[in-house]
Structure 1
Amino acid sequence: MNWLYLGLAIICEVIATSALKASVGFTKLLPTVILAIGYSAAFYFLSLTLRSIPVGVAYAVWSGVGVVLISVVAWLLYGQELDLPAMIGMGLIVAGVIVLNLFSKTVSH
């Protein structure tokens, strides 16, 4: 269940970060409300995650997966270009999260 909470935290954070750009410096009401709710929900679900997943592991997964997802969202919604070095870098982040989860003794399963 804690990994589900972590997944929800990541999804909420990606939604909030996407709304952050759309808020245009907090000048657009709806995106600003979405980002406030999204970040609040993200931190709530992250706090539930930390009941059994070590904070370093949870944050590594959250930030790593979040970087990749927000980059994909930015590409789809905002036309952000993803060149080869960016894709290689994101691949390395994903590889790091996989190694952490499969081989680290600090991860609680």
Structure 2
Amino acid sequence: MPYVLVGLAIAAEVMATLSLRASEGFTKWGPSAVVVVGYIVSFILLAKALTSLNVGPVYAIWSALGTIGAFVGGVLLFDEPVRPVAIAGAAIIVVGVVVMNVGGGMSHG
């Protein structure tokens, strides 16, 4: 169950981040509300998951997949450019998360 909470926290964070772009500097109320609610939901879900998972690896997964999700969402929703260096950066993020999980484990000891 904690892994489901992490997944939902990531989805809420990506939605909030993409809505931040769509809010146009908080001038559009709908996307602005999604930003606030999305981040609150994301943090609550992440906090619940951290009651049984280690903070380092979980935060690495949450932030890395959130970053990649925002990158992909920006490309798909806002026609942002895809550059080879950005793809290389995403790959480095994934490798870093894998290394952290190999070294840190995922559950409280």
* Cross-structure match for 1:29: 29
Question: For residues 105 and 6 of structure 1, what CA distance do their matches in structure 2 show?
Answer: 17
Per-residue deviation, 1:94: 1.0
Question: For residues 18 and 105 of structure 1, what CA distance do their matches in structure 2 show?
Answer: 30
* Cross-structure match for 2:52: 52
* Cross-structure match for 2:107: 108
C-alpha root-mean-square deviation of aligned residues, in Å? Answer: 1.4
Which secondary structure does the structure 1 equivalent of 2:34 belong to? helix
Question: For residues 88 and 50 of structure 1, what CA distance do their matches in structure 2 show?
Answer: 30
| Per-residue Cα deviation, 1:4-33 (whole angstroms, up to 9, x for no partner) | 111110000000000001111111111011
Identity of aligned residues (%): 40
Question: For residues 83 and 105 of structure 1, what CA distance do their matches in structure 2 show?
Answer: 32
- Gapped runs of 5+ residues in structure 2? none
Query: Conserved in 2, the CA contact under 8 Å of 1:13 and 1:66?
Result: yes
* Cross-structure match for 1:40: 40
- Gapped runs of 5+ residues in structure 1? none
Question: For residues 36 and 104 of structure 2, what CA distance do their matches in structure 1 show?
Answer: 35
Aligned length: 108
Question: For residues 55 and 95 of structure 2, what CA distance do their matches in structure 1 show?
Answer: 19
Question: For residues 97 and 58 of structure 2, what CA distance do their matches in structure 1 show?
Answer: 10
* Cross-structure match for 2:68: 68
